[in-house]
Amino acid sequence: MAELAPILIAGGGIGGLALSLALAGRGCRSIVLEARHEFAAEGAGIQLGPNGVRALQHLGVADTLHPKAGEPEALEVRDGGTSRLLATLPLGRWIADRHGAPYWAVHRGDLHAALLTAAGKQSAVSLRTGFAVTDLADEGSGVEIASATGDRVAGRALVGADGLWSGVRSTICPAIAPQFVGSTATRTVIPAADAGRLAFPSVGLWLSPGANIVHYPVRGGTEVAVVVIAVEAWEGRDWAAEADRTALMGRVGGFHASLIEPLAGARSWRKWALHRLAPLPRWSAGRITLLGDAAHPMLPHLAQGGVLALEDAVVLADCLEHHPGEEATAFLAYERQRRERAARVQAASRRNGRVYQMGPAFAWARNAALRLVPGARLMSGYDWLYGWRFDATR
Ligand SMILES: Cc1cc2nc3c(=O)[nH]c(=O)nc-3n(C[C@H](O)[C@H](O)[C@H](O)COP(=O)(O)OP(=O)(O)OC[C@H]3O[C@@H](n4cnc5c(N)ncnc54)[C@H](O)[C@@H]3O)c2cc1C
């Protein structure tokens, strides 16, 4: 039997690389085409719930990443202004026992590097940089894509893993574009030695009207990643725009000194504008489909953007394996398994954002409820999220 042509993957971020690995694990060839001139390891922290770690185990990269992962013991929720502890939701052993995989916090660069190194070792994966997909055509029996410089590549199907501003998505759902939500996320990483009380092996979530701050250990606990999410009218498309430190400190002025003081020494703050996209009417058209942020960008309030891209990758590769040579059918099967879950996570992330940044009147009721309900009960409300197993969704 003739060997099948490769699957083309537009975008070598977390989702695109994960898909190339999932396909290689099934003996399926792929070409990853990344617009940038090198596979970049930008970013700060990224939390990986048990559902994400389970996907990494499936992809064979969990063992490589493990030494660099922080394993937070709990999620501590605090009132931003007073630093009063509102709730302690168990992570650590509790969540690992509950879902059969741990909860990790890693540097985004470490996650990306682990995926890239593993993909680079696979003979079934070709990695190509400096190829910005600008044109594509579904020829019926295959797909041909072209780059900004006029290079052309053919394959049997195309997966758009090209992120929030996906060009592939605009060919499937032309009238739909992300909308700015009026907030930015500004991130940094500080050495644990300078982090004061933030160096605890927990995820910290501090709530305040119009802003919330999250921190957690990365790089095996030697560094602490910090993200400030606050109302700000800046809607640039850059993932790593330099943030004005003085303006940022002004926006977090209402937070307790024990949180702000360790942040004062942080050298570099980078920000990106938060956008939302309503669930798409479809992810696929013929031999073309979408994955990760291209299909369902996430607000960061549930820390699931990268994780859902990992889940997508595993499910999509599984569908292609179960429908050999029938890519359009495989893509519809993949969509059926993923769309409802992705929409649910998108909605839950938005809801969390509203709850985290409530104004003073509602914040009082929220804080009272958080203090009353046991943390384990609050966390078990996320069993539907963290308990995901790809083989149970077929
Ligand atoms: C640089 C960067 C930093 C981030 N930092 C954080 C962070 O610190 N914390 C956090 O929680 N989330 C962060 N995110 C978001 C989070 O990582 C995403 O939810 C997750 O990465 C989704 O993965 P993805 O593969 O779908 O998209 P992305 O990770 O966005 O990857 C998309 C890839 O496609 C490439 N691309 C775009 N257009 C084209 C094209 N036309 N042709 C070919 N390639 C193309 C991009 O260069 C990029 O490499 C970051 C994203 C990026 C890109």
Residues 168-191 have a mean pLDDT of: 95
Expressed in angstroms and rounded, the spacing between residue 298 Cα and the centre of ligand 1 is: 12
User: Which carries the bigger pLDDT value, residue 253 or residue 394?
Assistant: 253
Can you tell me the mean pLDDT for 325-341? 97
87-132 residue pLDDT tens = 999 999 999 999 999 999 999 999 999 999 999 999 999 999 999 9
Decide whether any atom of ligand 1 lies within 6 Å of the 266 Cβ. no
User: From the CB of 300, is ligand 1 less than 6 Å away?
Assistant: yes
Mutate to test the pocket of ligand 1, among 8, 59, 108, 116 (most ligand atoms within 8 A of CB): 108
Using only the alpha carbons of the chain, give its radius of gyration. 21
Q: How confident is the model at residue 2, as a pLDDT?
A: 59
Q: Which of 293, 296, 301, 311 maximizes ligand 1 atoms within 8 Å of its Cβ, making it the mutation to test the pocket?
A: 293
Mean of pLDDT over the chain: 94
Question: If you average pLDDT over residues 284-303, what whole number do you get?
Answer: 97
State the pLDDT at residue 43: 74
Please give the single-letter amino acid code of residue 255: F
- Render pLDDT for 136-169 as a digit per residue (tens, 0 to 9): 999 989 999 999 899 999 999 999 999 999 999 9
For Cα atoms 173, 177, 179, give the angle at the middle one, nearest 5 degrees. Answer: 150
- Whole-number pLDDT of residue 80: 96
Does pLDDT of 317 surpass 50? yes
What's the pLDDT band for 369 if we cut at 50, 70, 90? Answer: very high
Give the per-residue pLDDT at 41: 67
Please report which residue ranges of the chain form alpha helices under DSSP H. 14-24, 50-59, 62-65, 92-99, 108-120, 167-172, 245-251, 257-263, 305-322, 327-356, 360-372, 375-380, 383-386
89-119 b/e (C-beta count within 10 Å ≥ 16 → b): bbbeebbeebbebbbbbbbbbbbbbbbbebb
The amino acid sitting at 349 is S
For residue 14, how far is its CA from the centre of ligand 1 (angstroms)? 7
Which ligand 1 atom lies nearest to the CA of residue 42?
1
What tens digit of pLDDT does each residue of 211-254 get? 999 999 998 889 999 999 999 999 988 888 899 988 999 889 89
Which of 279, 291, 283 lies closest to 20 in space, CA to CA? 291
Tokens standing for 183?
């907030």
Q: Ligand 1 centre from 190 Cα, in Å?
A: 22
Mutate to test the pocket of ligand 1, among 104, 126, 239 (most ligand atoms within 8 A of CB): 239
Q: Which atom of ligand 1 is nearest to the CA of 297?
A: 19
Is the CB–ligand 1 distance for residue 36 below 6 Å?
yes
Instruction: Name the nearest CA neighbour of 247 among 274, 197, 211.
Output: 211
Would you say the CB of residue 178 lies under 6 angstroms from ligand 1? no
Quick check: CB of 43 below 6 Å from ligand 1?
A: yes
3-state class (DSSP) for residue 384: helix
* Buried b / exposed e along 268-304 (16+ C-beta atoms within 10 A): ebbbbbbbbbeebeebbeebbbbbbbbbbbbbbbbbb
Position 240 scores a pLDDT of 83
Structure tokens at 117: 């190194």
What mean pLDDT is predicted for residues 324-353? 97
Mean pLDDT check: name the lowest of 144-148, 260-264, 272-276, 340-344. Answer: 260-264
Query: Measured in angstroms, how far is the CA atom of residue 130 from the centroid of ligand 1?
Result: 15
d(C-alpha 280, C-alpha 250), whole Å: 37
pLDDT in tens, 23-78: 999 999 999 999 999 887 677 889 999 999 999 999 999 999 999 999 999 999 99
Determine the pLDDT at residue 1.
43
Ligand 1, atom 53: closest residue by C-alpha? 239
Any bridge partners for residue 205, and if so which?
77, 214
Cα of 261 from ligand 1 centre, angstroms: 31
Mean pLDDT in residue range 187-193: 93
Both structure tokens of 330:
């495989």
Protein residue closest via CA to atom 5 of ligand 1: 43
Question: Is 320 in contact with 330 (CB distance < 8 Å)?
Answer: yes
Distance 13 CA to ligand 1 centre (A): 5
pLDDT at 394: 55
Predicted confidence (pLDDT) per residue in 281-290, tens digit: 999 999 999 9
- CA 193 to ligand 1 center in whole angstroms: 30
Verify whether ligand 1 is closer than 6 Å to residue 163 (CB atom): yes
The answer to whether the predicted template modeling score (pTM) of the entire model surpasses 0.85 is yes
Instruction: For a ligand 1 pocket test, name from 162, 166, 274 the mutation site with the most ligand atoms within 8 angstroms of its C-beta.
Output: 162
